[in-house]
Amino acid sequence: MEYNYTDSLKTRLRRIEGQVRGVLRLMEEGKPCKEVVAQLSAVRNASDRALAQIVAENLQQCIMAEQEAGNKDTGKLVKEAVELLVKSR
Position 1 pLDDT exceeds 70: no
**pLDDT band with cut points at 50, 70 and 90 for residue 83:** confident
**Residue percentage of the chain with pLDDT more than 90:** 48
Supply the DSSP symbol for 30: T
Amino acid at 4: N
Sign (positive/negative) of CA torsion 58, 63, 65, 66? positive
| 15-45 pLDDT, tens digit each | 999 999 999 999 999 999 999 999 999 999 9
Q: What is the pLDDT of residue 26?
A: 97
Complete domains list, the chain, with CATH:
5-86 (1.20.58.1000)
